[in-house]
């Protein structure tokens, strides 16, 4: 049995992310899903499951997560037609909170800089 190519799982995850970024605006008609930006994709070593991280504008993150997970089967079916791999993973969408944490950190740094400069 031949060993898998190094980095193949990451390349597959990146391709899934790119394809989903094209598919979601075109195929998902669920009003719960607002303007979605995919921020990452992690795939299990056996390619059975993929965690897809996203941020959303114009919708509640929890509601958008429910809408995207409801459309996951349909999106997986489209991916199956687009990808040439043996196993297309089951999709699990998760809201990416790192962007909001980054904005909070920026605000804290700006506040600290004002205090340091004596502006308060």
Delimit the domains of the chain by residue range. 8-117
pLDDT tens digit sequence for 19-34: 999 999 999 999 899 8
The candidate with the shortest Cα–Cα distance to 59, out of 81, 27, 36, is 36
- As beta bridge partners, residue 36 has 56
Look at domain 8-117 and name its CATH class.
Answer: alpha beta
* Side-chain-facing half-sphere of 25: CA atoms under 13 Å: 9
How far apart, in Å, are the Cα atoms of 119 and each of 24, 89, 109? 46, 53, 14
Measured distance CA(104)–CA(68) in Å, rounded: 26
User: Is 73 in contact with 34 (CB distance < 8 Å)?
Assistant: no
Q: What is the pTM of this model?
A: 0.81
Segment 69-109, tens digit of pLDDT: 999 999 999 999 988 888 899 999 999 988 888 888 999 99
Q: How many residues does the chain have?
A: 120
């Amino acid at each position: 049995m031949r060993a898998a190519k190094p980095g193949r799982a990451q390349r597959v995850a990146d391709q899934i992310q790119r394809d989903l970024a094209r598919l979601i605006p075109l195929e998902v008609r669920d009003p719960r899903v607002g303007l979605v930006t995919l921020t990452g994709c992690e795939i299990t070593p056996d390619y059975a499951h993929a965690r897809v991280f996203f941020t959303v504008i114009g919708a509640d993150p929890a509601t958008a997560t429910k809408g995207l997970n409801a459309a996951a089967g349909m999106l997986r079916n489209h991916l199956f037609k687009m990808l040439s791999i043996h196993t297309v993973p089951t999709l699990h969408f998760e809201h990416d909170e790192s962007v909001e944490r980054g904005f909070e950190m920026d605000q804290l740094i700006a506040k600290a800089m004002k205090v340091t400069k004596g502006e308060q």
